[in-house]
Amino acid sequence: MTVPLPVSSSNALAAAAAHDPLLAVHALRVTFPADGGTARAVDGVSFTVEAGETVCVVGESGCGKSMTALSLLRLVPPPGRIEAGSAIRFAGDNLLTLGDEPLRAIRGQQMSMIFQEPMTALNPVLTVGDQIAEVVRVHTSASRREAWDRAVAMLRDVGIADPAERAKQYPHELSGGMRQRVMIAMALVLEPKLVIADEPTTALDVTIQAQILELLRAQRDRTGLALLLITHDLGVVAEMASRVLVMYAGQIVEEAPVEALFATPSHPYTEGLLAAVPRLDQIGGRLRTIPGTVPPSTEWPTGCRFRARCAYAFDRCAHEEPALLQVGNAHRARCHLVQEPERRSMSATSNAMALPEASS
């Protein structure tokens, strides 16, 4: 419970404000009309991001990761909508009640996004330098020349050789890795407080992926920005995250510091994801998989949404939806096994998920 402080207590107020998270999302729900019902793409998601922190959101396709990210900038595509009762607070502002002008002032300048596919996010008829310079001109009083110079400097900062010439080129003239660097340059040019990166290394080869991740890490360390990284790659999570949110069927099913998540996963879905990662010390044999698929968002099952795919499911899972339960320090999981841990040790399939029929 928060106790109001006297107006004169300026030092106390400043101390309290310093402990507020940069981003606080509460009970976020995003829905879409669908034939015969409603698709609940994001269903009651709550989390925070501290200044300077890197939080990774992980899960399969269809779990609600990207829609959560779009919601933060109020970019949910119509006819989707953010439902009443949701709350998104950023640097003290409630983004869901802001008008268009204040919201535009935050987008790009204080909070920016690196989209998954540069070729669809970049404008094909404008040079990449013009597109970066436009971000500067929209949000600052910089002249056209100053904005262009800043765009070229930013291209240099993200590791593009000969940036003055590259700035004059169009997106189709650049490689996939260069286009992704342009996207990062656009997101970082105004040194925002928070960058949302939606699968920023998808479809890039391993070498370019490593370069992109190193670039994001270097910019984070240089400017102190917070990074919300959406990914399905647990290798990226291990390398980048300080804290991890695991999403499944529109909900957060586990939240933990990265070391705790990898050492002691508490939700069976997280356990399955980790078990499916190939290991260098296990040569040959078959890769583990999680059986089944994510259910459609129009038909989330009753009880635990993962139960049909879970090796530990029991009667309670079918009838009672689990809450996010405390497992350890800053570690929570949405699973009845937290309260009934003996069922995990009793299961004949403990620490194993179903294997594919075909050998690798």
Residue 228's DSSP bridge partners are 55, 196
Q: pLDDT of 119-145, one tens digit each?
A: 888 999 999 999 999 999 999 999 999
Check whether 156 has a pLDDT greater than 50: yes
pLDDT band, very low/low/confident/very high, at 30 (cuts 50, 70, 90): very high
Check whether 164 has a pLDDT greater than 60: yes
SS3 135: helix
pLDDT band, very low/low/confident/very high, at 278 (cuts 50, 70, 90): confident
Look over the chain and give the mean of its residue pLDDT values, rounded to a whole number: 88
Q: Is the dihedral of CA 232, 238, 240, 241 positive or negative?
A: positive
Over the range 84-100, which residues count as b (16 or more CB within 10 Å of their CB) and which as e? Answer: eebebbbbeeebbebee
Write phi, then psi, for 229 (nearest 5 degrees): -110, 115
Q: Which domains does the chain have, with CATH numbers?
A: 19-241 (3.40.50.300), 266-346 (no CATH)
Check whether 348 has a pLDDT greater than 70: no
Distance CA 152, CA 162 (A): 9
Check whether 250 has a pLDDT greater than 70: yes
Give me the pLDDT at residue 118, please.
83
Residue 207, CB-side half-sphere exposure with 13 Å CA sphere: 2
Biggest CA pair distance of the chain = 70
Check whether 311 has a pLDDT greater than 60: yes
Distance CA 275, CA 335 (A): 18
* Residue 160 DSSP one-character state: -
Distance CA 63, CA 249 (A): 5
Check whether 211 has a pLDDT greater than 60: yes
Check whether 5 has a pLDDT greater than 80: no
Long-range contacts of 268-273 (CB under 8 A, 24+ apart): 268/306, 268/310, 268/311, 268/312, 268/335, 268/337, 269/306, 269/309, 269/310, 270/246, 270/333, 271/351, 271/353, 272/309, 272/353, 273/58, 273/59, 273/234, 273/246
Give me the pLDDT at residue 69, please.
95
Which of 195, 209, 197, 185 has the alpha carbon at shortest distance from 128?
Answer: 185
